[in-house]
């Protein structure tokens, strides 16, 4: 998945104001917030954008649950949980439109609780065992209800969660109910026992999309006033243009190691609707993507033309590339068009042979020539380079045999040549590293199967 939406819909209680009404006021309480959530309208809006998935808050500030949680009530009698099962209504509505769901959660949100609630849960004075008993009870309730209907959990982090959270136990609580659930974590340098990191971007600091760096991890980017509906209608506009949102989504899809792509963040008002410009901007970005979606939304980053993490648009000589999940198609995204109608590419790094080329947007043929010096693509007829992204589909017909017998890798293009067989691996400063250096038995193999070799194992 490469195109998502991150939604905070939160009653902050005594912690701080979160979701606002469209007139700028605050809801009357948690049940008011929950009862006015328009699940069907929300799903229609997401569908009109064309997102593949949504990350939606199960709780955040003050740990106010958006479902009637008996676990929360066992620990904190009278603490706010909703009478309405908002999460179930939301899941039903968005899944009916083919949109996948992850839940945002926070395992270390005790700082937002009242003094009485902090004492009851072991937060103040802090008791590691009591707090983790509480947290795992609430997570267990959440997963037992919805674990088979969602893709995973987004787990927030503040930089030192390991001092508060027993992540081994938390992973077991989550994975025991459904081993396929993804644990996606706000990344502060340590994944603990989670599967993937996510880079939160409150602001790029510039409205110029050409300057936005694209990390290998998924990115969650605020495009409204903040993560939730924070201002009244008419007081703010979407931060970024549809064109830049679309082009960054394309760039992210082509980054080596990328997963999840870009998740754009804003929140709806109680009763429906969004901050000024949010929905229209995302719909326009989605319309750009729809024309070439097959080359972006269900792809892996290319191993023929590799784009390293941290790349910005101005670093690109021509663009990025993606590939189909089955490996039969390669997609070239021309984000920086040449002056003429011919694009010359170097030889594919994975030695693929291409037999045909066509434009993704209209299916018309593109002239293809390939030899040992590289690949040449020439637009034909009345076709010209699209100012946003010209996506060209290449049919893979084979792989050139390897002639050299020595494998060398300086990891300047990340770890795309390597297949982890056990453990989590990453590249850093020219090294291929384990996330857990105290463990033995983690291994990886060089992916040279197309050359008839089994590869080197480390």
Angle between helix 167-177 and 128-146 (nearest 10)? 20
CA angle (69, 71, 73) in 5-degree steps: 75
- In this predicted structure, what is the pLDDT of residue 409? 75
- In this predicted structure, what is the pLDDT of residue 371? 96
Domain boundary residue, one of 353, 377, 399: 399
Same domain, 395 and 412: no
Compute the distance between CA of residue 240 and CA of residue 202 in angstroms, rounded to an integer.
Answer: 12
Question: Is position 295 within any domain?
Answer: no
Looking at the structure of the chain, the number of domains it has is 3
Domain that holds residue 442: 405-458
Question: Is position 343 within any domain?
Answer: yes
List the one residue out of 193, 27, 20, 13 whose CA is nearest residue 109. 13
- In this predicted structure, what is the pLDDT of residue 427? 79
Convert the pLDDT of each residue in 372-431 to its tens digit.
999 999 999 999 999 999 999 999 999 988 665 556 677 766 776 787 777 778 777 667
**Which residue is associated with the tokens 């020539």?**
369
CA distances from 435 to 172, 424, 427 (A): 19, 6, 10
Q: Is 382 exposed, middle or buried (0-12, 13-18, 19+ CB in 10 A)?
A: exposed
For residue 99, what is the domain's CATH number?
3.20.20.80
- In this predicted structure, what is the pLDDT of residue 433? 79
Q: Which residues of the chain have pLDDT under 50?
A: 449-458
Compute the distance between CA of residue 258 and CA of residue 323 in angstroms, rounded to an integer.
Answer: 12
- In this predicted structure, what is the pLDDT of residue 158? 85
**Which residue is associated with the tokens 């197309």?**
450
- In this predicted structure, what is the pLDDT of residue 269? 98
Domain boundary residue, one of 361, 380, 399: 399
Peptide bond into 426 cis (omega under 30): no
- In this predicted structure, what is the pLDDT of residue 405? 56
């Amino acid at each position: 998945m490469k195109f998502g939406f991150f939604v905070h819909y939160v009653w902050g209680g005594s912690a701080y104001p979160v979701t606002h009404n469209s007139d700028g006021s605050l809801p009357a309480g948690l049940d008011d917030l929950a009862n006015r959530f328009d699940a069907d309208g929300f799903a229609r809006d997401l569908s009109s954008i064309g997102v593949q998935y949504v990350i939606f808050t199960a709780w955040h500030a003050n740990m106010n649950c958006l479902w009637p949680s008996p676990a929360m009530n066992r620990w904190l009698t009278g603490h706010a949980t909703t009478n309405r099962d908002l999460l179930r209504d939301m899941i039903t509505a968005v899944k009916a439109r083919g949109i996948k769901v992850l839940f945002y959660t926070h395992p270390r949100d005790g700082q937002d609780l009242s003094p009485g609630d902090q004492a009851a849960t072991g937060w103040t004075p802090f008791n590691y065992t009591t707090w983790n008993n509480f947290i795992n009870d609430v997570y267990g309730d959440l997963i037992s209800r919805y674990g088979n209907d969602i893709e995973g959990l987004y787990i927030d982090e503040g930089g030192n969660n390991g001092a508060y959270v027993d992540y081994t136990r938390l992973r077991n609580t989550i994975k025991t109910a459904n081993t396929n659930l993804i644990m996606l974590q706000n990344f502060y340098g340590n994944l603990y026992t989670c599967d993937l990191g996510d880079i939160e971007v409150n602001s790029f600091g510039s409205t110029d999309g050409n300057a936005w760096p694209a990390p290998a991890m998924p990115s969650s980017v605020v495009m409204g006033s903040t993560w939730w509906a924070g201002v009244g209608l008419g007081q703010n506009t979407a931060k970024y243009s549809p064109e830049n949102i679309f082009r960054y989504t394309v760039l992210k899809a082509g980054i080596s190691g990328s997963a999840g792509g870009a998740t754009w963040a804003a929140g709806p008002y109680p009763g429906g609707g969004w901050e000024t410009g949010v929905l229209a901007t995302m719909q326009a970005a989605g319309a750009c993507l729809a024309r070439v979606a097959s080359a972006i939304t269900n792809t892996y980053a290319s191993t023929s033309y590799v784009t390293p993490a941290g790349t910005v648009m101005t670093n690109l000589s021509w663009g990025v590339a993606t590939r189909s999940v089955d490996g039969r198609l390669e997609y070239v995204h021309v984000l920086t068009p040449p002056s003429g109608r011919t694009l010359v590419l170097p030889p594919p790094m994975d030695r693929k042979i291409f037999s045909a080329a066509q434009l993704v947007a209209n299916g018309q043929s593109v002239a293809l020539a390939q030899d040992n010096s590289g690949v040449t693509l020439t637009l034909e007829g009345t076709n010209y380079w699209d100012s946003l992204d010209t996506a060209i589909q290449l049919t893979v017909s084979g792989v050139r045999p390897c002639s050299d017998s020595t494998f060398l890798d300086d990891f300047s293009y990340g770890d795309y040549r390597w297949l982890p067989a056990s453990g989590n691996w990453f590249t850093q400063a020219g090294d291929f590293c384990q996330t857990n250096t105290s463990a033995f038995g983690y291994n990886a193999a060089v992916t040279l199967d197309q050359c008839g070799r089994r590869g080197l194992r480390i």
